[in-house]
Structure 1
């Protein structure tokens, strides 16, 4: 991968990570500001359900931030853009669509077929 492409993907990954971290901060402030002890059990249950959904979303984003950071480490090592399974280059279009991709499309397809057959 050329230095220009590495720089391009580094920029994408860093912006994405920043956006996700800002969302986490907004969630913390929102939950602190909105936390109230409603006398009505239905209102309390609604608020708790909203907080649960928001926390579940943030947990998925936390895992995504970890993948982004792993991709940035791979960029630093020069391993970014290569399939972890077969070692071939992951296509640029795939990386544009999923910058944290670690498998080429062929290996990912095989992985999904294996996963489907396990269930």
Structure 2
């Protein structure tokens, strides 16, 4: 296979590093003030750009030609690699829609606040997962309810 799947976290960490030299949100400033909103907007846009770049590499590899291994085992291995790569890109496609939703929330002044409780999500959580829509507590409660309904 021409390229290997780039992990989502690797792409996210590169996006964070590319903007980290300018500013890092701190607890000593107003929550979701202009500086923090600008930071998260830049982070989300850079993350989205990085995902698109990785996707275009995959697309180019697919266009370069079919798998041509003569040995059946090599061919099966290559097809498995491609399957994993395409599943990764599908997850990233879904992640882009979450990034777009986070950017809309930024535009509407709702970013950084829990969609369930309205409480601040918290800087550490948003830095770790900028597309988060719930506080840790609300997310855990949601997952417990989801697990219970799945078990029924």
Give the TM-score, by structure 1 length: 0.91
The answer to whether 1:19 aligns with 2:50 is: yes
Q: How does 1:13-52 map to 2 (within 5 A)?
A: 13-33=44-64, 35-52=66-83
Q: Which residue matches 2:89?
A: 58
Shift of 1:18: 0.7
Selected match of 2:114 from 62, 78, 83: 83
Say which SS state the counterpart of residue 64 (structure 2) adopts.
Answer: helix
Q: Provide the rounded CA distance (Å) in 1 between the counterparts of 2:139 and 2:70.
A: 51
CA distance in structure 2 between the partners assigned to 1:44 and 1:34 by the alignment: 14
Equivalent position SS for 2:80 = helix
Q: Any unmatched runs of 5+ in structure 2?
A: 1-31
Q: How many residues align?
A: 119
Normalising by structure 2, we get a TM-score of: 0.73
Query: How many Å separate the matches in 2 of 1:44 and 1:94?
Result: 42
Report the alpha carbon displacement of residue 109 of structure 1 after superposing the two structures with TM.
1.1
Structure 1 residue 5, shift from structure 2 partner: 0.7
Contact 2:67 2:79 in 1 (8 A): no
Deviation digits for residues 37-75 of structure 1, max 9, x if unmatched? 333322222221111010000001111111001100110
48-57 vs 26-35, greater mean Cα deviation: 26-35
Aligned to 1:96: 127
Q: Which runs of 5+ in 1 are unaligned?
A: none
Segments of 4+ in structure 1 off by > 2 A?
31-44, 115-119
For 1:97 and 1:40, locate their aligned partners in 2 and report how far apart those are by CA, in whole Å.
44
Distance apart, 1:104 and its partner CA: 1.1
Alpha-carbon RMSD = 1.4
